[in-house]
Amino acid sequence: MLAEIQQDAKERMGKSVDSLETNFGKIRAGRAHPSLLEQVQVEYYGSMVPLSQVGNIVAEDSRTLKVSVWEKDMSAAVEKAIMTSDLGLNPQTMGQVIRIPLPPLTEERRRDLVKVVRDEAEHAKIAIRNIRRDANGDFKDLLKEKEISEDEARKAEENVQKITDASVKEVEAKLTEKENSLLEI
């Protein structure tokens, strides 16, 4: 029972770290990367689909993304979807190929992005601490119902704290890495 609660907490904390990494991937550090366009949705025959399902996205160089649309008549819809996204990009269409030059980041914008990254990391830490609180609450419930002893509960709480510390340390490492990539020119 205790091992299941600890394993569940560990898995949920891992998912929080993975979610943080996904959120960090959406914040561009001045370099072109196909994941930048992951959340862009395109209208495709009446339904909204991810851009990756109507074309191939590649980084042509460090400052340019290239989208090769599979159907020629989808070029206009893809261009419109990129322009209306909140990414602030201006695509250039040449037939079935759409090139998206990424403007260089200003120092002020880099500082703003660092604040956003720190905020995301703090949300991840809060989520991890909430998972720890839930697991400790489960241990206390088991203790009240006399299903485990006080020593077992204390040992289980210590184990969950170790898992929490490891997860928070992982978040800190990812935060430092992302901050460095944002501030590097």
pLDDT tens string 7-48: 999 999 999 999 998 888 777 666 777 777 777 888 888 888
Confidence tier at 64 by pLDDT (50, 70, 90) = confident
Architecture (CATH level 2) of domain 34-101 = 2-Layer Sandwich (3.30)
CB of 100 closer than 8 Å to CB of 64: yes
pLDDT of residue 185: 62
pLDDT at 158 over 90: yes
Is the predicted pLDDT of residue 60 greater than 80, yes or no?
A: yes
Mean of the per-residue pLDDT values of the chain: 87
Contact 24, 120 (CB under 8 A): yes
Under CATH, what is the fold of the domain 2-26+106-183?
Topoisomerase I; Chain A, domain 4 (1.10.132)
Q: How far is CA 163 from CA 41, 76, 128, 140, 171, in A?
A: 37, 49, 10, 18, 12
Q: Where along the chain do the CATH 3.30.1360.40 domains lie?
A: 34-101
> What pLDDT is recorded for position 29?
64
Reply yes or no on whether the pLDDT at 184 is more than 80. no
